[in-house]
Structure 1
Amino acid sequence: MTEVPSKARVVIIGGGISGCSVAYHLAKLGWTDIVLLERKQLTSGTTWHAAGLVGQLRASQNMTRLAKYSTDLYGKLEEETGLATGFRQCGSITVALTEERREEIFRQAALARAFGIDVNEMSPAEVLERFPHLEISDVVAGVHLPNDGQADPGNIALALAKGARMLGAKIIENVKVSKVVTKDGRVTGVEWEAGDDTGQIATENVVNCGGMWGRDFAAQNGVTLPLHACEHFYIVTENIPGLAQLPVLRVPDECAYYKEDAGKLLLGAFEPKAKPWGMNGIPEDFCFDQLPEDFDHFEPILEKAVSRMPLLGEVGIHTFFNGPESFTPDDRYYLGEAPNIAGYWMAAGYNSIGIVSSGGAGMALAQWMHDGEPPFDLWEVDIRRAQPFQMNRRYLKERVSETLGLLYADHFPYRQMATSRGIRRSPLHNHLKARGAVFGEVAGWERANWFANEGQTPEYEYSWKRQNWFDNQRAEHMAMREGVGLLDMTSFGKIRVEGRDALAFLQRLCANDMDVAVGRIVYTQMLNGRGGIECDLTVTRLSETVFFLVVPGATLQRDLVWLRRHLGDEWVTITDVTASEAVIPIMGPRARDLLARVSPNDLSNDAHPFGMAREIEIGMGLARAHRVTYVGELGWELYVSTDQAAHVFEAIAEAGADVGLKLCGLHAMDSCRIEKGFRHFGHDITDEDHVLEAGLGFAVKTDKGDFIGRDAVLSKREAGLDRRMLQFKLTDPEPLLFHNEPILRDGKIVSFLTSGNYGHALGGAIGLGYVPCAPGETGADMLASSYSIDVAGRTVAAEVSLAPMYDPKSTRVRA
């Protein structure tokens, strides 16, 4: 055994392709004293049996950026290291068997063009020309990506390991890390064992690349890493004489993928209901192992495959393989630093796309560790999105039985998870359910997305066209525009920041001025050093030393980490109080009329202006009424203690009969906010988007003194903007926008939409997106161009605006 050093700059735990990639990229950045410890042999967990598909196109720009990086890297590794990786760019084809799937893959093709990926839409005949063994009688269309490919996963990992060793990294097999040692909230070392030998390595950084072992190992230190193993099946045929090299083929409507491999065909599956595995933990001695065959489980896939590829019925099966892989609750992997332990990093949970992901993920994590911040927006895979309750094993077992199959399911907009539901509920949940609420889930919270009418089945009917709730959304949307609507936003994250130095602390973190009168509400962002947006929130000053922060429910853990990591010697306490209060927004031009029926307090503009919070009586209870809005109308968000929330709702609902109160869901809230041009964190604004280019300069006060990101704001003001956020409205009222549709300026693709929805008051689909601008180009210059949006290959003309198209002067908000 290679001698294990007593100290290192970083210890990487796990020798699959993920761990080898992190070691390689840290070494490329000049890190020395890199140690990778593998409990058995390199690639012996999941990597060795992966199918090795390398597809560049992912669901977003930055995930595609990482996949393209992997593709480029694997093409160069052999020359650098001398180890063959088996990588070849044979291309890939995805075929659609339904019109709905055609819409999906053609939208993906449009997205590929926006991302600079070579792509071609195909007719059934063109599909057959490139894949001559296919039955195409029911094929509707196809999409071809010529630069996709396949590779040998084990050899890629070994090549990355060799490249890391060539740069000085130590990679040691048959050494198990038994414990990560911490002190005062940060990593100080690891304990290891190898047979009868034991020892310690002093280090300030560990990277958990433990794959399906990673969850339980992270739990030893109280770190949340929600993943669970599932069985993954494929077969390999006997040799097929004369079989030519073929592109990778995906037939998602039949849950199947095919690849040619050395004269054989491999058929793999992502079946709709998967088989979780390892409920009692992964066996200690698991090494290059496979699981028992389950032909009954695989047979439905195989039957369709034989009809789709008659060639399969003429050859024998050489290998029936069943091996475990890690899946996560949302089908996205995890990167980043543990929220509760500094220096504890993670790269795990790859959901069967670990080969195409690991090259880019290793690069991104290494850069993150090196620079102290991610190289670009990685929120989709950021470990901080994980909720502590998601470590629950029953939750994971049920959820991953669904997420494996979702890889090839129709990726309809607004599709909701079916498993592991009902875990986090508002006090109003049963009231809303009884009134027709149809719920979606975010961060475990059940949220009313729309309300079914009497006699209407309260469930989604998914489509790429107008779904069954489109008219419900319109009615809810227009109620908030013309009358009054009630929402339930209890899922908001709520944080108290209090103490002697609370003001100074928030002045340092927030871009807006926090030194306001008690009761004032401030809309602000927390910025990073590049001027990018780390958090989008409101801050209410409750007293001289107490501030109340409201953040999106999905980003609560992330925002808590940002606050706590920047807390220095200040006398400040940061407390998550999310569960303590329900939030009931009352929105619309008749909001004041409604509240006057349930509260004796004066809610006039003079007594309660926009941007003010104060306690009011309501029904027979109390609430803190915040006069703010995310829909662009007169309204109040009522913060009510959870014990009184049901009563307050009942009082409002009873009084609402006189003024036409309508219960509204999150879909209507989103369509209202996009009409008003309000940004949505994670889509329109991220840590990669400069606050000035996002059009949020009004919330930045550089004259208040120093704060994180101030220099970047001043620098951008001096240098000028490189792009601007614009609002788009399709001139044809029929097509729908969701996000990622390409933006064309004067006929050329220049960007893509960051979010989209239907603007019922404006009469067409609305989108937001950044458009590059030349130095010195004014807003008027940009608006003088002709714009259109690519909707699944169809170019649709669009009106464009810098100011919100709906109520640009916000007179309705202040009515």
Structure 2
Amino acid sequence: MTVPAKARVVIIGGGIIGCSVAYHLTKLGWTDVVLLERKALTSGTTWHAAGLIAQLRSSANTTRLAKYSQELYGGLEAETGLATGFRRVGSITVALTDERLEEIRRTAAMARAFGVEVDEISTAEVGQRYGHLNLDGVTGGVYLPKDGQGDPGNIALALAKGARQRGAQIFERVAVTSVKREADRVTGVDWQAENGEAGHIACDMIVNCAGMWGRAVGQMAGVNVPLQACEHFYIVSEPVAGLEQLPVLRVPDECAYYKVDAGKMMLGAFEPVSKPWGMAGIPEGFEFDQLPEDFDHFEPILEAAVNRMPMLAEAGIHTFFNGPESFTPDNAYHLGLSPDASNVWVAAGFNSIGIQSAGGAGMALAEWMDTGEKPFDLGDVDIARMQPFQGNRRYLQERATEALGLLYADHFPYRQKATARGVRRSPFHAHLVERGAVFGELAGWERANWFAREGQPKEYVYSWKRQNFFDNVAAEVAAVRTGVGLYDMSSFGKIRVEGRDAEAFLNRVCGAQMSVPVGKIVYTQFLNARAGIEADVTVTRLSETAYLVVTPAATRLADETWMRRHLGDAAVVITDVTAGEGVLAVMGPRAREVLQAVSPADFSNAVNPFGTAQTVELGLGLARVHRVSYVGELGWEVYVSSDMAAHAFETIWEAGQGMGLTLCGMHMMDCARSEKGFRHFGHDITCEDHVLEAGLGFALGKDKPDYIGRDAVLAKREAGLDRRLVQFMLTDPEPLLYHNEPILRDGRIVGHLTSGAYGHHLGGAVGLGYVPCKGESVAEVLASEYQIDVAGVRVPAKASMKPLYDPASERVRM
């Protein structure tokens, strides 16, 4: 064994993910690639994975990755000569309730929008395709003919062989014992072989593909990789005479999946309350190991399965298997460049979908490493979405009890996690609890999503139809549109950028002009070289040398990291001050009246026009008021230091009692911004959406000489737009929109909704989505007839380029 002393990249972990990263890097021409595996390739989780290879995921881009995986695996055997066992056997998902049927029909519609072949099938058709199934209670299903299954271990070994053929060096039984780091860069890794040899590899970067060891490897490198191993159970029957090949079958209402393999039936489970494992560390000798059986834990799943699949009652159990798999706090895997270091990449925590995801994840990460930019939007899985506290062991253990079961739980809109809650609370939390708040969680923050009426249970009752808070949110929207509403925005990220070069630095990073007077608030985007949108923020100039960047709560760390990576040698200090201030939004036609009642300051257009901030006396204390709005109404965001926050709330609340002041939640904000056509970062605008095609050209600085993405902006202005972000409203007031519903133009699918909500003031569901328009004028785009596919029903929709609510934006300037 000759382990090199230097490499361009060291990949840590030889499961299917690490092998895929090595394969795709070498495919891009990288030859100086080293992969180190502590034991044998595939010996952690890959070897015992079920090998289900589905194409459809919860977003367009994760579906893109999954589709790539099955296409890759289809040709891998011919390329490498190793049998992968890959077969396109198809898959069927069945529903046992009307709610689940609605979900899978919406899933089928989403598949059509993403270009995945799918058939909605009746109960009878389910029986025709899967004759062994007891159809009692089955309400319908969906069939994806190109889904498949394969041999996970052999797929990984084929990827490894492909990587070796192009020059990668792969070493088994060589463990990484430590990672060397200087400042924000890893410089190399120390290794120890089972035969006693040891050494050091200097490298330009590392990739953490360590699976359930990923958190520990992350700690070695000084980066946060929140994941937790959980026990995952399945049984394999004795051979069943005459059992033919069948599609993969999923019965999520019974937490079960079924797969035929070599004449035997496999039954796997994603039980609602799972069992975290390895909290004290994974045993040193763990290799191709399984965990102790727990038949009592598995028995409820098996009991339902024997009824659903009667052949299991006749066939004996050949294998009862329990093996560990890693899960993340939000059930999305970790991919990308760690925000904690400039050269540590992560591909780990695949939540039981590692086989179907590995090909695409390896491809995307390799391209990102090769070019330095994401090949397309990877926000769903970008490791930068994880908050530092989410690496906490106790947090991970508690959340892991729920995470595994959520794979097959009903994926209702607005469904909230039930475990590991209450970690981050705003200064107003107790006040909101007292007044009926029903909380959701985002990035660990407890946020009031809606307010229950007196006597109404303070909890969600989930559905794909109108949920129990529908009328509550309607009343909150009405308050903001016609009177005044108050809601908590403390969770939004607040990043202070200050120093001698702050103005020049932000002018480079932001598309808008930052050379503005003190007190000016600027709406802007951080753009990449393609003029795709990396962040959507407001920037307030606090002084000659200091600015405040306000970001969405979920992207605060990513946005801060983006700025830090473009800092260069600028004399600038970047500080997260999110927890230092509470923020209350006072919004609606009577907002000025409320604030004038609590402060002697002048809130008139002459003194405090839209887009400006001022420091004011408020009650007995001080506050800074920003005149901006994300709901399309006259209003202010009131920033107050955390020590004065309770006083500020009590003062505003008391003053507003005679003016109809109404507490509102995040659902109201989303409905109101959707009516106004305001974009939501991560849904409507992402790193692959050109700022001009997103309709945000107005936010770019006029004649700015230089900013990231400027050349791509000028090129697009010259060439014209290929697509436009269009607002839609259903003509039927009954159906609901969420996101990913197909957009049909003159009867043909041309895209999907990037976001959707109910427009309570407008009287129907509204959404945003991109429509191809190369060579077309706005009038030509709008001349077409549009429909939105809602769970298989084509609903006519009105299309508009201007906001359907207050198109001239007069209300925010009242």
Taking structure 2 as the reference length, the TM-score comes to 1.00
1:194 aligns with 2:193: yes
1:641-675 CA distances to partner (integer Å, 9 max, x unpaired)? 00000000001111111100000000001000000
Which deviates more from structure 2 when the two are superposed, residues 196-205 or residues 785-794? 196-205
Residue 720 of structure 1 aligns with which residue? 720
Q: Structure 2: how far apart are the matches of 1:454 and 1:592? A: 28
Residue 299 of structure 2 aligns with which residue? 299
1:757 aligns with 2:757: yes
Residue 422 of structure 2 aligns with which residue? 422
CA contact (8 A) 1:740 1:755 kept: yes
Residue 97 of structure 2 aligns with which residue? 98
Residue 402 of structure 1 aligns with which residue? 402
1:345 aligns with 2:336: no
Aligned partner of 1:571: which letter? Answer: A
Unaligned stretches of 5+ residues in structure 2:
none
CA contact (8 A) 2:224 2:340 kept: no
Secondary structure of 1:643's match?
A: helix
Aligned partner of 1:272: which letter? Answer: P
Secondary structure of 1:79's match?
A: helix
CA contact (8 A) 1:289 1:323 kept: yes
1:681-719 CA distances to partner (integer Å, 9 max, x unpaired)? 000000000000000000012502100000000000000
Aligned partner of 1:566: which letter? Answer: H
Q: Structure 2: how far apart are the matches of 1:27 and 1:554? A: 34
CA contact (8 A) 2:186 2:221 kept: no
CA contact (8 A) 1:702 1:710 kept: no
1:211-253 CA distances to partner (integer Å, 9 max, x unpaired)? 0111012112321100000000000000000001100000000
1:136-175 CA distances to partner (integer Å, 9 max, x unpaired)? 1210001000000100000000000000001111001010
Secondary structure of 2:70's match?
A: helix
Secondary structure of 1:259's match?
A: strand
The within-5 A match list for 1:122-521 is 122-195=121-194, 196-521=196-521
Aligned partner of 1:130: which letter? Answer: R
Aligned partner of 2:193: which letter? Answer: A
CA contact (8 A) 1:684 1:768 kept: yes
Secondary structure of 1:240's match?
A: coil
Secondary structure of 1:644's match?
A: helix
Aligned partner of 2:364: which letter? Answer: A
1:45 aligns with 2:44: yes
Q: Structure 1: how far apart are the matches of 2:773 and 2:708? A: 26
Residue 783 of structure 1 aligns with which residue? 782
1:483-523 CA distances to partner (integer Å, 9 max, x unpaired)? 00000010010011100010000000100000000000000
Secondary structure of 1:379's match?
A: coil
Q: After the TM superposition, which parts of structure 1 deviate over 4 Å for at least 4 consecutive aligned residues?
A: none
Aligned partner of 2:18: which letter? Answer: G
CA contact (8 A) 2:379 2:682 kept: yes
Secondary structure of 1:750's match?
A: strand
Measured on the aligned residues, the alpha-carbon RMSD in Å equals 0.6
1:324-349 CA distances to partner (integer Å, 9 max, x unpaired)? 00000000000111112111111000
The within-5 A match list for 1:642-791 is 642-775=642-775, 777-791=776-790
Aligned partner of 1:535: which letter? Answer: A
Q: Structure 2: how far apart are the matches of 1:687 and 1:315? A: 52
Aligned partner of 1:707: which letter? Answer: Y
Residue 561 of structure 1 aligns with which residue? 561
Residue 535 of structure 1 aligns with which residue? 535
CA contact (8 A) 1:511 1:702 kept: no
Q: Structure 2: how far apart are the matches of 1:395 and 1:242? A: 48
Q: Structure 2: how far apart are the matches of 1:109 and 1:15? A: 35
Residue 633 of structure 1 aligns with which residue? 633
Secondary structure of 2:756's match?
A: strand
Q: Structure 2: how far apart are the matches of 1:508 and 1:342? A: 20
Residue 795 of structure 1 aligns with which residue? 794
Aligned partner of 1:136: which letter? Answer: L
Residue 578 of structure 1 aligns with which residue? 578
The within-5 A match list for 1:58-77 is 58-77=57-76
Q: Structure 2: how far apart are the matches of 1:552 and 1:391? A: 21
Secondary structure of 2:232's match?
A: strand
Aligned partner of 1:119: which letter? Answer: V
CA contact (8 A) 2:611 2:626 kept: yes
Aligned partner of 2:374: which letter? Answer: P
Aligned partner of 1:778: which letter? Answer: S
Aligned residues: 813
Q: Structure 1: how far apart are the matches of 2:441 and 2:567? A: 32
Aligned partner of 2:623: which letter? Answer: A
CA contact (8 A) 1:227 1:396 kept: yes
Secondary structure of 1:531's match?
A: coil
CA contact (8 A) 1:332 1:350 kept: yes
Q: Structure 2: how far apart are the matches of 1:619 and 1:283? A: 59
Aligned partner of 1:624: which letter? Answer: R
Secondary structure of 2:157's match?
A: helix
- Please report how far the alpha carbon of residue 418 of structure 1 lies from its aligned counterpart in structure 2 after TM superposition: 0.2
- Percent identical: 70
Aligned partner of 1:722: which letter? Answer: D
Secondary structure of 1:109's match?
A: helix
1:380-435 CA distances to partner (integer Å, 9 max, x unpaired)? 00010010000111100000110100000000000000000000000100100110
Secondary structure of 1:657's match?
A: helix
Q: Structure 2: how far apart are the matches of 1:342 and 1:766? A: 41
CA contact (8 A) 2:69 2:358 kept: yes
Secondary structure of 1:22's match?
A: helix
CA contact (8 A) 1:57 1:64 kept: yes
Secondary structure of 1:597's match?
A: helix
Aligned partner of 1:105: which letter? Answer: I
Unaligned stretches of 5+ residues in structure 1:
none
- Please report how far the alpha carbon of residue 774 of structure 1 lies from its aligned counterpart in structure 2 after TM superposition: 2.6
Aligned partner of 2:240: which letter? Answer: I
Q: Structure 2: how far apart are the matches of 1:773 and 1:520? A: 36
Q: Structure 2: how far apart are the matches of 1:296 and 1:670? A: 44
Q: Structure 1: how far apart are the matches of 2:717 and 2:85? A: 49
Secondary structure of 2:695's match?
A: coil
Aligned partner of 2:139: which letter? Answer: V
CA contact (8 A) 2:274 2:400 kept: yes
- Please report how far the alpha carbon of residue 180 of structure 1 lies from its aligned counterpart in structure 2 after TM superposition: 1.4
Q: Structure 2: how far apart are the matches of 1:104 and 1:335? A: 27
Q: Structure 2: how far apart are the matches of 1:202 and 1:328? A: 30
Residue 29 of structure 2 aligns with which residue? 30
Residue 599 of structure 1 aligns with which residue? 599
Q: Structure 2: how far apart are the matches of 1:591 and 1:222? A: 47
CA contact (8 A) 2:243 2:263 kept: yes
Aligned partner of 1:395: which letter? Answer: Y
Secondary structure of 1:72's match?
A: helix
1:229-284 CA distances to partner (integer Å, 9 max, x unpaired)? 00000000000000011000000000000000000000000000000000101111
1:306-340 CA distances to partner (integer Å, 9 max, x unpaired)? 00011110010000000000000000000111112
Secondary structure of 1:322's match?
A: strand
CA contact (8 A) 2:542 2:548 kept: yes
CA contact (8 A) 2:228 2:400 kept: yes
